[in-house]
Amino acid sequence: VLRDTPFSYLDGEEDQDQKNDVTYVCPYRGPVFGALTITNFRLYFRSLPLRDQEPPVVVDVPLGVIARVEKIGGATSRGENSYGIEIFCKDMRNLRFAHKQQNHSRRTVFEKLQTNAFPLSYSGRLFAFAHAAANSVNGSGGWNGWAVFEPLAELRRLGVPNDMWRATKLNECYAICDSYPAVWAVPKAASDDFLRRVAQFRSRCRLPVLSWMNPRTQATITRCSQPLVGVGGKRNSDDEAYLSFIMEANAQSDKLTIMDARPSANAIANKAKGGGYESEDAYKNVEINFLDIHNIHVMRESLRKVKEACFPTTDDSKWQTAIDNTLWLKHIRCILAGAVRIVDKVETMSTSVVVHCSDGWDRTAQLTALSMLLLDPYYRTVRGFEVLIEKEWLSFGHKFQQRVGHGDNKHSDADRSPVFLQFIDSVWQVSQQFHNAFEFNEHFLITIVDHLYSCRFGTFLCNTEAERVAEDLKHKTTSLWTHINSSLDQYLNPLFPSFTHGAELVLRPIASVRSVRLWKGLYCRWNPGLCAPQHGCQRT
């Protein structure tokens, strides 16, 4: 029987449990008998080859992907494979393993899964720390993914500082806004004291700061959270003056557009919690649009339905209806349409846009990052996309730890939501409409999603830049970009032209439901009947 598991152990990866008499109840091939290994990083199953020419069934799951582990059956269960463990994953899979009742092999497997998949719930540490500590030589040939994003360098690339915009380190101790980065770009007309006052009028102090500037026209995209208008309709002269500074910093236009990502009903409902939106009579020369993107609870439920429809399979006759009923593609279309509207304002009208939602760390990040990707070909290169994620998602405080639930067993936490996954899905949708516009390929996007969950790298850990600095992730964990950039060839798109024709500088994808389709390469990759083997199918 197999003793040496044929996967290559990662630095810091150690066996926790091994069982040789386990049955994996494969939804596609039926029950297969084999060996199960649990380490502090993964669950690995490999079937014993019945006939030597038959390829083994392999299941190789990073424990970070596990959302929930349940025991099925009890001592009295008599049905075939009715006694064992069911594992519910964040990447659309459910895995069932059957054990023999008599030797209690289930108990240690269950315990080892719990303590290693949810280390934070058992006062342990995420694997990323053990992995980096054991990572003797910086195996990536000197590549340091943590050096990919340097905020002042990225601002210089955008042309900041200039006559209208300055960089400020007012927040370098994260004292003004603990969920914002240390470095901001703001209109020169706004002093540091003025910025402090404006922050008081924005939810969680997330005042409007620069995301992107068109180097040619100086039209800008700024981002923030909702104003603290409340039911009483409070105003704040500093906040109002600040938005006019943002508008005046763009000589091309005497208007400013606010894109509120929410359905107007939710924006109004937020007044009940002290939030709300900018009224056009308080904010001169400002037009406000609502983009109808629903909140994190709606998106969590939508993805749950996608999983229900896709795993393990859906017969063709019900497929389209099942997918339509999830509303997932309607939500993706909404995000795409919102980004296209921002592109139109900034590029076609040379009007500056302020993007916000309620907290300004979920839908706002989706919209600024996606519109910047459409506007600026730099973000469509491998390195530029890595910078975009570091800047608009990580440094601006998208709560990755909470939205993914890294290392904790609170699988029904209402703060979990696939917001970042929706962004990557939206990028994939655009790549399907512009095949040669991206330096990276689908495997690059799927690898990012895999390591959103895996906890092998430090990149997606914690909720804010301040927390990452406090945890010293740059020294205690490895960056995902080190891993990717040290074997770049497998992530490159062969269709990408070595130069960018002027015409493709700005992408305007069609954002209609007809042009948006389910990303089967991600959501159905475990079903061998539905997709190519390169993304894990052979590992079902």
Ligand X SMILES: CCCC(=O)OC[C@@H](COP(=O)(O)O[C@@H]1[C@H](O)[C@H](OP(=O)(O)O)[C@@H](O)[C@H](O)[C@H]1O)OC(=O)CCC
Binding site for ligand X (CB under 6 A): 262, 266, 269-270, 272-273, 295-296, 357-364
- DSSP, residue by residue, 279-341: -TTTSTTEEEEE-----HHHHHHHHHHHHHHHSS---HHHHHHHHHHH-HHHHHHHHHHHHHH
Q: How far is the CB of 424 from ligand X (least distance, A)?
A: 16
User: What phi, psi does 375 have (nearest 5°)?
Assistant: -85, -35
357 annotated active-site:
yes
- Positive or negative: CA dihedral 372, 374, 378, 379: positive
Please name which of 457, 35, 396 lies closest in space to residue 208, comparing C-alpha atoms. Answer: 396
Q: How far is the CB of 44 from ligand X (least distance, A)?
A: 36
Residue by residue, what is the 3-state secondary structure of 374-390? HHCHHHHCHHHHHHHHH
Q: Tell me the C-alpha distance between 521 and 527, whole Å.
A: 10
Comparison of 89 and 209: residue with beta carbon closer to ligand X: 209
Comparison of 364 and 459: residue with beta carbon closer to ligand X: 364
Comparison of 239 and 450: residue with beta carbon closer to ligand X: 239
Comparison of 195 and 293: residue with beta carbon closer to ligand X: 293
Residue 499 neighbours by CB under 8 Å, 6+ apart: none
Please name which of 174, 139, 37, 27 lies closest in space to residue 86, comparing C-alpha atoms. Answer: 27
Q: Tell me the C-alpha distance between 371 and 341, whole Å.
A: 9
Please name which of 330, 365, 540, 526 lies closest in space to residue 446, comparing C-alpha atoms. Answer: 526
Q: How far is the CB of 331 from ligand X (least distance, A)?
A: 12
Comparison of 99 and 262: residue with beta carbon closer to ligand X: 262
Q: How far is the CB of 275 from ligand X (least distance, A)?
A: 7
Helix pair 419-433, 363-375: axis angle to 10 deg: 20
Provide the H-helix boundaries in 118-233.
127-133, 151-158, 192-199
Establish how many alpha carbons lie within 13 A of residue 73's alpha carbon, considering only the half-sphere containing its beta carbon.
21
Comparison of 161 and 263: residue with beta carbon closer to ligand X: 263
Give 291: exposed, middle or buried? Use CB within 10 Å, 0-12, 13-18, 19+.
buried
Q: How far is the CB of 62 from ligand X (least distance, A)?
A: 26
Q: How far is the CB of 181 from ligand X (least distance, A)?
A: 16
Please name every residue paired with 509 in a beta bridge, in sequence order, or none if there are none: none
Q: How far is the CB of 90 from ligand X (least distance, A)?
A: 19
Q: Tell me the C-alpha distance between 236 and 472, whole Å.
A: 38
Please name every residue paired with 222 in a beta bridge, in sequence order, or none if there are none: 210, 354
Query: What is the distance of C-alpha 477 from the center of its chain?
Result: 19
Of 177, 224, 334, 357, which residue is the catalytic one?
Answer: 357
Q: How far is the CB of 508 from ligand X (least distance, A)?
A: 24
**Alpha carbon distances (Å) from 457 to 60, 133, 135, 423:** 17, 12, 12, 20
Comparison of 411 and 508: residue with beta carbon closer to ligand X: 411
Comparison of 223 and 525: residue with beta carbon closer to ligand X: 223
Question: For the chain, how far is it from start to end, CA to CA, in angstroms?
Answer: 21
Tokens of 214: 């068109």
Comparison of 32 and 261: residue with beta carbon closer to ligand X: 261
Q: How far is the CB of 265 from ligand X (least distance, A)?
A: 6
Catalytic residues: 357
